[in-house]
């Protein structure tokens, strides 16, 4: 399994989870309706399932990796800025509306711009985590490099240590999932969560991962979300532990992983994007119902071209 194929599969799963998760917001159905339909495993009928800024930014990460086989921060800043200007209506958060437009013209400004967000503390939101699973899959052969490259990718927009930690955790989880697919030892469940926690910088994200590792795999997803956070506060520490708990206990079924994650509600597109990116690093889109594949918004055509060039 090549780095590019693992990352491409992860990207496909991230985008599917993003679009699927978006269906459960109040724009489409009330929280009660959403919960009842999720529990009943009733697939949303509207289409296409548009993806959001989670996938838009993941595409930028993937594009830089296919071009350079590493995170070049100014190249990534430029890609984020250009992608934003091309379609700013993908659901970007307040901080990104402020930061990204200027990066298309002055990508070097990410250093000061990212630090100036949120009163000079930098963002500790879930934006760096939501987009990074394909990077973890790309570097699955070296967990230390996956963590290092994830931190570099996060710093372009998230200067706060917790924002960086969220990205590191998701990248390591995706690397472990992809590594198991490649024939190595597959850490899963509490074992995976504990290893991810060990490789995540100290702080609230790591503490949440340790709580997730101690949480029963049979817990009701909504209860797990109550304990770990469902992303409702849009913070890395409130998002990553639950999304990875769901992924870690469903590494053989992307579909069931997404249903489980959606049941936690909250910031559903982002939690499902994280879960989808991690699980698909192992499964690809195997087992996903045809109706899901028909309803999802496809990735841009250049993604397949980039992979073909990488493999050539």
Three-state SS letters, 169-235: HHHHHHHHHHHHHCCCCCCCHHHHHHHHHHCCCCCHHHHHHHHHHCCCCCCCHHHHHHHHCCCCCCE
Closest CA to 268 of 305, 234, 311: 234
Predicted confidence band of residue 1 (pLDDT cuts 50, 70, 90): low
Q: What is the pLDDT of residue 119?
A: 87
Mark 73-92 as b/e (b = at least 16 C-beta within 10 Å). Answer: bebbbbbbbebbeeeeebbb
pLDDT band for 296, please (50, 70, 90 cuts).
Answer: very high
Asked whether the predicted pLDDT for residue 64 surpasses 60, the reply is yes
Quickly count: other Cβ atoms within 10 Å of residue 211's Cβ: 18
Q: pLDDT (tens digit, 9 = 90+) per residue, 195-244?
A: 999 999 999 999 999 999 999 999 999 999 999 999 999 999 999 999 99
Check residue 3 and give its pLDDT.
78
Let me know: does 7 contact 36? Beta carbons within 8 Å: no
142-185 per-position pLDDT tens digit: 999 999 999 999 999 999 999 999 999 999 999 999 997 766 67
Nearest to 212 by CA among 199, 195, 193: 193
Q: Please, which pLDDT band fits residue 188 given cuts at 50, 70 and 90?
A: confident
Q: Is 160 helix (H, G, I), strand (E, B) or coil?
A: coil
Query: Which CATH code, of 2.40.30.10, 3.40.50.720, 3.40.640.10, 1.10.4080.10, is assigned to 3-51+123-311?
Result: 1.10.4080.10
Residue, of 255 and 47, whose pLDDT is higher: 255
pLDDT band at 11 (very low <50, low <70, confident <90, very high): very high
| Residue 304, pLDDT score | 78
């Amino acid at each position: 399994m090549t780095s590019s194929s693992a990352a491409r599969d992860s990207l496909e799963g991230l985008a599917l989870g993003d679009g699927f998760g978006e269906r459960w917001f109040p724009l489409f159905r009330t929280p009660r309706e959403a919960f009842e339909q999720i529990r009943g495993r009733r697939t949303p009928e509207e289409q296409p399932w548009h993806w959001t800024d989670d996938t838009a930014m993941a595409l930028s990460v993937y594009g830089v990796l296919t071009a350079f086989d590493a995170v070049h921060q100014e190249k990534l800043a430029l890609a984020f800025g250009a992608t934003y200007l091309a379609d700013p209506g993908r659901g970007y958060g307040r901080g990104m509306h402020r930061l990204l437009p200027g990066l298309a013209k002055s990508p070097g400004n990410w250093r000061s711009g990212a630090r100036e967000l949120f009163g000079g503390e930098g963002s500790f939101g879930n934006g760096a985590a939501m987009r990074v699973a394909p990077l973890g899959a790309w570097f699955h052969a070296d967990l230390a490099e996956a963590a290092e490259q994830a931190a570099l990718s996060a710093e372009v927009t998230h200067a706060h240590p917790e924002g960086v930690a969220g990205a590191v955790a998701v990248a390591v989880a995706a690397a472990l999932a992809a590594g198991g697919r490649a024939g190595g030892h597959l850490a899963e469940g509490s074992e995976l969560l504990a290893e991810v926690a060990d490789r995540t910088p100290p702080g609230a994200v790591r503490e949440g991962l340790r709580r997730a590792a101690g949480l029963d795999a049979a817990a009701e997803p909504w209860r797990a979300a109550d304990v770990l956070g469902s992303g409702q506060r849009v913070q890395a520490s409130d998002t990553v532990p639950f999304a990875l708990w769901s992924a870690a206990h469903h590494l053989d079924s992307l579909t069931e992983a997404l249903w489980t994650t959606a049941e936690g509600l909250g910031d559903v597109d982002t939690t499902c994007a994280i879960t989808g990116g991690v699980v698909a690093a192992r499964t690809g889109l195997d087992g996903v119902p045809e109706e899901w594949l028909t309803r999802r918004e496809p990735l841009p055509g250049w993604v397949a071209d980039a992979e073909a060039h990488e493999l050539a």
